[in-house]
Structure formats: C-alpha cells, structure tokens
Amino acid sequence: LGEGVVSGQVTTDSFILDKASGEIRERQIRHKPHYCQRDPQGRVTLLQTPEARRDAPSLTPEQLQQLARLARQT
C-alpha cells in the first residue's frame, strides 16, 4: 500500500532509531487526514482517517522495537 505514499496522497510519520539499542532517537508525528486500504476487489482506496488517529503515532514503541530487531537480523 505504498502507492499512497509514492503518489503523495497520504502523509507518513518518520522514526529514527539507534542501530545498536533500538532506542528512538528522533520521531516526527505528522497529521494524517487520509490513509490507503485495499477494498474487497483488491483496489487501493483512499479513506479518511478517524479523527482520534489523525495525529497519533502510526507505530507503537513496541512495534518500533520489533522492526529494529528485524532490521538488525538483516
């Protein structure tokens, strides 16, 4: 679903983690009025983000730690 990012239709958060510890060094949480999702026919559709999630981080600290572990394994 990177189509929305590539096309500029959706806004993304940005996280920078320490390579060794996985500690969050920097994060930019952006306002996200829209998101992309596949519909039942497999097409990517642009939807309005629920109000409560528009300014919330897209990933939890636990999810970031899991991604850091996976990246270190690569």
Task: Please check the confidence at residue 52 and state whether its pLDDT lies above 90.
Answer: yes
pLDDT digits (tens, 9 = 90+) for 17-45: 998 888 999 999 999 999 999 999 999 99
Task: Please check the confidence at residue 1 and state whether its pLDDT lies above 80.
Answer: no
What mean pLDDT, rounded, does the chain reach?
A: 93
Superfamily of domain 3-73: ATP-grasp fold, B domain (3.30.470.20)
- CB contact at 8 A, 35 and 47: yes
What is the Rg, in whole angstroms, of the alpha carbon atoms belonging to the chain? Answer: 14
Between CA 24 and CA 67, with CA 54 as vertex, the angle to 5 degrees is 30
**Helical H segments across the chain, by residue range:** 3-7, 61-73
Task: Please check the confidence at residue 8 and state whether its pLDDT lies above 70.
Answer: yes
